[in-house]
A and B are shown apart, each in its own frame.
Chain A
Amino acid sequence: MAIALTLLTLVALPFVAALATALLHQATRAVHSAIAAAASAGGLVLLASLAGPVIGGEIPFATWQWVPSLGLDLTLMIDPLGLMFAGLILGIGLLVVIFAHFYLDADEATGRFFASLMLFQGAMLGIVIAGNVLLLLVFWEMTSLASFLLIGFWQHRAEARQGARMALAVTGGGGLALIGGMVLLGLVAGSFDIATILARGDIVRASPLYPVLLGLILLGCFTKSAQFPFHFWLPHAMAAPTPVSAYLHSATMVKAGVFLLARLWPVLAGTELYTGIVTSVGLTTMIFGALVALFRHDLKSILAYSTISQLGMLVMLLGFSLETAALAAALHILNHAAFKAALFMSAGIVEHETGTRDIRRLGGLAKAMPMTALIATLAAASMAGLPPLGGFISKELMLYETPKLALLGLPWLLPALATLGATFSVGYSLRLAGHLFSGRPREAEPFARAHDPGFGMWAAPALLTVLAVLLGLIPMLLAGPLTGAVTAAITGAPAPAFDLALWHGLNLALILSLIAVAGGALLLWQHKRLLAAWERASLPDAKRMFEASFAFADKWVRKATVAVHTPSLQRMLLASFAVIVLLVIDGIQAGGSFTGTRSLLPASPLAFIAWALLIAATAAVVNDSHNRLRVLIYISVIGLVVSLTFVQFSAPDLALTQISVEVVTILLLLLALNLLPKSPPLLSSAPRKWRDGMLAVTGGVLVGGIAWAMLTRDPGPSIAAYHLANAKSGGGGTNVVNVILVDFRAFDTLGEIIVLGIAGLGIFALLDSTATGAAGARLRAWREDMPHSPERHPLMLVAASRIVLPLTLTVAIYLFLRGHNQPGGGFIAALVAAIAFLVQYLAAGFDWSDRRKRIGEHQLIAWGVLTAMATGLGAFLFGSSFLTSTFGYFSLPLIGKFELASAMLFDTGVFLTVFGAVMLALAQLSHIAARAARAHAAQHSEGGGA
């Protein structure tokens, strides 16, 4: 339990610190750095408490379930590998915090800085102590995100934003490959628990998926560790504040890839494929990075390429799949962290004090800033692999390993190439230190400013340099046990016997080392000439290529996206119809018979005529679609035929509904038509018409064919039998359709009236704003498109309308009351009532008619829905479910027996809602036209007066 808590605290501390600094973002720099430093220091203390047992062979371990179905557990464990990395992360992290405190100006957004830094630290820590592959991935991607924030910290600088995006794109993208690889690894291994996976290397390597998962995982590692050809993001990440560079590129971000290679060594390493890829990529990167570093002038850029090179070396070592090579790698990780962090901080100091990082402008700084010179020179020497420093030992170990592998079948090739890389390393390291600190000042200005910073700023690099020196002087004492344990952890086997010392006698490694030093000196001597040649060679610029390819992708993806998504209704519909047609054709292929076996009804001549009427009218609609009034008349014909169809085929309710809906629709269309432009339509091109026509005919044939197939089949047993049997006895009505609507499926009807109510409200909302804005202007500028009769309210029409209203309303009442037993019902009654009132509006005008009504349409809709709902809820009181109906027969003297059904109350709700919605829509529409006309008249008379 204590262990679990320790582990949890360890990984949580940085996140807590991140949150604290973010929340206290308005506090001072001191507060921020204090929090961050405290978190790092606290972590170190916790880690130290675990160090002994871990090196002694214990593996502190804790697990909590997080997503069991996924296999994602919150498993934390510290083995020596994790311990070493955690130590680096926290230790160098602490030093970086201290350094950053002095490096950053007090007025910078230090809260944001330290929050991001701590977020990064936490993520990094998570990677190295994660005991679950998926958990590791979580932290892995978080490091990409956090580094994005850190690199882009100086947001106003273009290079910072670009560098941040590039780092995110490459490492985040590689991370995605890693996700694929790791999930695959887990699936192959049958577990996402790292310890379990590590024990199942044989299974993994034997799996046919091994090459795939290996490739994906390596992609993740190589991008993160800036291996060639994914190295280019790293130099641009130097746009970050130097403390960030020091942190990301010495101990953390880029080391994550190396860490993962080491972590998965027992599972992945050892195959020819693995060795071939990893070794060659590492070797290439090592040589390439070192070569480029030779010719860089920006201090941080040199360090960046040196980092690339050093990482290449580590990767190459791990690629060997040899235990001794793993040992070399483990030691070099420590060495690199120490000297590289020291160098970055020194570079930061130099920049901070001189205002430049261009080594061509600097020189002879040893006099001006001796302490910095001492620190940086020692660190550079370690990087060069010069004795008696730590770098020397690990480089020796590396060179010692190289003959063990034959590259391309040539046993000498690898040692030779490795020596070449080492030569370059010596070259750039010496150039760095020599150029900066020895010789004469090259430019006066930066030199004049230069002096050693205060102790706070050089303390951290000094400490690291001391470490680098001690790693050379007392390696066994300082790093022996750890390195051994780490090696064992990497390989999953006991570490080989080893001895870390400066002097191993005269062996091949030492000879190669000497060659490298001599070669490095030679390079430095010939540097000017070589530089000229390098600059003539004009190698392709990776960053520019990356950006160009992004711009290219953006341009074309944008073009394609815009082209596909042009908001064209015609295209949307074309796509939809085409998809449907294709799907129907697919369905047809499932077979079955086309014509069924039902005995058909012979058609009467009249039916044939009605059919011809419908088809002629449809053709006329299509043909004459620009002549709007005519089209409406044709539509009326279609509606008429449809109504007759319903009458003929035993559907009186449908006929009533169709008839009344039809006229309301026509009124609506006429109202709208008055304001819509009547100009000739845009003519489609002939090919387009043909295309649409073909699609239309295909669609028509298919739907008609389906209808035929359906109509010619005998129906099977249907739930409607129940409705027919229970309408009277259970629903209390003889009109089965109505009983279905207000009882069996009243819930549908509730939805249906709500649809209508919403339509009314939506229409109201749509039209209410027409008086203002562009629409208002357009309406104000409205002029008649045809000369109109001056008579607004024809006498006979008005007089007739006065009697038509009560007559029609009485019919509506009649239809409503009988609906439960005979054709009719609330919906039809509402439409009839609405028509009755619309006749008033038609005859006497909106204002006159509207002034006389006593309740608003909104209220009607609301009360209608509420009535229907209340009917449904009433059943609750009787312990029944929603919309349970009841009915009873009553008798009163004189009047006789009559029926009352709760369904009729429901139907009242239907009536009110439908009536309200129809009136709201039409009245509102007619109203804007009236306003428009009035505005027009007002304008006209004003114009006449002027």
Chain B
Amino acid sequence: MTLADHLPILPVIIPALAAPVILLVIRRRPWLGVAAALVSCLGLLVCALALMARVSDGSILAYAVGEWPAPFGIVLVADRLAAMMLVLTACLGLIAWLHAVVTGADRKGWHFHALFQFQLMGLNGAFLTGDLFNLFVFFEVLLIASYGLMLHGQGPARLKAGVQYVVVNLVGSSLFLIALGMLYALTGTLNMADMGLRVAAIAPGDQGLLRIAALLLVSVFALKAAVAPLHLWLVRTYAVSAPAVAALFAIMTKVGVYSLIRVVPQVFGDSAGAAAWVPAPYLLPAAMVSAVIGFAGVFTARSLSEQAAYAVIGSTGTLLIAVAGWSADSLGAGLYYLAHSTFAAAALFLVADVVARRRGSFGDSASPGPDFAGRSGVALLFMAAAIAATGLPPLSGFIGKLLILKSVAALPDWGWAWGVILGTTFFGVVGFARVGSAVFWKSAGGGGGGGAPHAPVSRADLAAPIMALTLLAALSAGAGWASAYANAAAVQVLDPAQSARAVLTQGAR
């Protein structure tokens, strides 16, 4: 095997090596730790892009860890969808990391860089694995790392929110295990592709159990994705996290969505009897409620970060409206929107931080504050981020929403879906306009009302949000390629037989 053959596992290995190395060097030579983190982030990006290039022809790479044949060992599966998620993670990781370093957030507590690398490792592992229990393990890796990151820098708000975040996720993990136990008891396998084949043979007497297991598993993913009414944990958690961390967390809810997209067609597809397309009756209503709740939150939020947190819920809802169609078109639209909404949410959190850092005690609250240097520029960034988050042209959110609208038109409930998507966009427009005009316009000349003088802030912190927005612009300009890729990924995901062939033959090498 050459190094290229190891490509599917490198996104896990690189951060898993970087983290302990950072741990060892960072006390003595902090710069070396930072350098190691940078090398890892860049390496991940290169690997992810290389992987994407490898799989963009439609091939599916199966990597049997330990050379144990599938389904007996653990197989990593790199297909278009996985590669896409890896690229997203790598880009987002680089941006969030850069912001943390530039703003000094990484020095507010212990082990930021190690936790960050472990977080990336968990994410990448979750996106790559073809094994359900291994997915659980990587969920836990990314969760525990996220606990650490979320609490990084601490303070009462984070600690309070942290307790809730951790406890809710512990309950989620318990559910995951119960579902796993049932699925193993019923199918005798843990490999997703294999399980997808075995569910077809489940006896009629076991159908109830199968459906329960499937529903439990799906609800775990829904909890991670913050789908209403399982979304209650998200707002406080994201709003209080360090902005760089919150930006990275933009991908965290997507892990839940990804798992749903990965597992449902593969395991609970047409042949799954009572568990066939198991989230079907619930996903669309829940997604619509999430979208409404999220953008209603955006509409009334009282601070930029709160707004960003609600936007995450809303965009996940929108995305799941597309996913709920389970057609190649709608899933493709959803995947494109997924990529978009990840960067859009990150951009919002980062811009909120840029604002907060300049307004002293006024923070990012939606109230008039002191004027600050470079306000127009920051306002422009905010506007761009808000445009992206609401889905207005010319940024990719608009294209994503058009794709979703077009694709869900085939659903029986398309009218509701359209109403929700367009209506929530309206909420978003109004909400962002109001907050933006309060923060950036009302302060102008109005003399912020006795805001404490604040030290000038280096403009270097604009880099990360600009990077995020640039990616959004690229996603818009390259929407043709991106949406074609997303569609191809969707087609591939919806063809579990192809994946099963690849995993169970190639992985069995």
Contact = CB atoms under 8 A, between A and B. Distances in A.
B413 interface: no
B125 interface: yes
Contact of B134 (A168, A575, A747, A885): A747
Interface stretch (A324-332, A465-473, A662-670, A702-710): A702-710
A764 B111 contact: yes
A752 interface: yes
Interface in B415-435: 418, 422-423, 425-426, 429-430, 433-434
A72 B211 contact: no
B163 A706 contact: no
B51 interface: no
Interface string A334-372: 000000000000000000000000000000000000000
Contacts of B392: 141, 145, 172
A722 B13 contact: no
Contacts of B380: 22
Given A69-B403, A869-B13, A881 B65 contact: yes
A187 B406 contact: yes
Nearest to B232: A572
Given A579-B219, A715-B188, A884 B67 contact: yes
B361 interface: no
Interface string B65-76: 111100111100
B327 interface: no
Nearest to A69: B483
Interface string A737-750: 00000011111101
A25 interface: yes
A155 B441 contact: yes
Contacts, number: 366
Interface stretch (B19-27, B343-351, B493-501): B19-27
A518 interface: no
A746 B445 contact: no
Contacts of A872: 13
A766 interface: yes
Interface stretch (A78-86, A375-383, A858-866): A858-866
B23 A862 contact: yes
Given A703-B178, A880-B1, A745 B73 contact: yes
A761 B125 CA distance: 20
A703 B376 CA distance: 57
B209 A710 contact: yes
A137 interface: yes
A333 B16 CA distance: 67
B502 to A, nearest CB: 16
A716 B441 contact: no
**For the complex, would chain A's binding face be called helix, strand, loop or mixed by DSSP majority?**
helix
A565 B232 contact: yes
B484 interface: yes
Nearest to A885: B66
A572 B207 contact: no
A165 B434 contact: yes
B215 A586 contact: yes
Contacts of A560: 296
B360 interface: no
A412 interface: no
Contacts of B219: 579-580, 583
A765 interface: yes
B178 A754 contact: no
Interface in A551-600: 553-554, 557-558, 560-561, 564-565, 567-569, 571-573, 575-577, 579-580, 583-584, 586-593, 596
Interface string A695-733: 000000001001001100101111110110010001000
Contacts of A22: 380
B255 to A, nearest CB: 14
Interface residues of A toward B: which range?
Answer: 35 or more
B57 interface: no
Nearest to B138: A751
Interface string B206-242: 1111111111100100010000011011011000000
A291 interface: no
B145 to A, nearest CB: 5
Interface stretch (A97-105, A174-182, A260-268, A303-311): A174-182
Contacts of A156: 441, 444-446
Contacts of A134: 402
A569 B168 contact: yes
Contacts of A506: none
A179 B232 contact: no
B402 A748 contact: no
Given A161-B437, A765-B109, A881-B67, A719 B402 contact: no
Interface in B382-405: 383, 387, 392-394, 398-399, 401-403, 405
Nearest to B152: A765
A1 B50 CA distance: 36
A590 B398 contact: no
Contacts of A437: none
Contacts of A141: 392-393, 398
**For the complex, would chain B's binding face be called helix, strand, loop or mixed by DSSP majority?**
helix
Contacts of A575: 229-230, 232
Contacts of A879: 1
A774 B207 CA distance: 55
Interface residues of B toward A: which range?
Answer: 35 or more
A164 B429 CA distance: 12
A199 to B, nearest CB: 21
B18 to A, nearest CB: 10
B110 A71 contact: no
A586 B161 CA distance: 32
Contacts of A25: 376
A794 interface: no
B160 interface: yes
Nearest to B198: A716
B311 interface: no
A866 B21 contact: yes
B483 A766 contact: no
Contacts of B63: 881-882
A616 interface: no
B356 interface: no
A758 B185 contact: no
A156 B208 CA distance: 64
Contact of A865 (B20, B147, B154, B483): B20
A715 B185 CA distance: 6
Contacts of B211: 586-587, 590
Contacts of B109: 765, 768-769
A119 to B, nearest CB: 10
A29 interface: no
B171 A565 contact: no
Contact of B444 (A145, A155, A164): A155
Contacts of A743: 66, 68
Interface in B177-211: 178, 181-182, 184-191, 194, 198, 201, 204-211
Contacts of A706: 178, 182, 209, 212
Contact of B9 (A142, A571, A881): A881
Nearest to B222: A579
B434 A744 contact: no
B148 to A, nearest CB: 4
Given A744-B68, A748-B137, A885-B66, A169 B433 contact: yes
Nearest to B405: A183
Given A718-B189, A862-B21, A584 B430 contact: no
Interface string A138-157: 11011001001000100110
9 smallest CB-CB distances across A and B, nearest first, come from: A587-B212, A718-B188, A592-B208, A155-B441, A762-B148, A590-B274, A751-B137, A862-B20, A765-B110
7 contacts: A169-B433, A572-B233, A591-B207, A710-B182, A716-B188, A875-B66, A882-B66
Given A184-B409, A730-B68, 19 more contacts: A67-B480, A138-B393, A176-B426, A177-B422, A565-B232, A592-B209, A710-B209, A716-B201, A719-B190, A743-B68, A762-B148, A762-B151, A765-B151, A774-B156, A865-B20, A869-B13, A869-B17, A876-B3, A879-B1
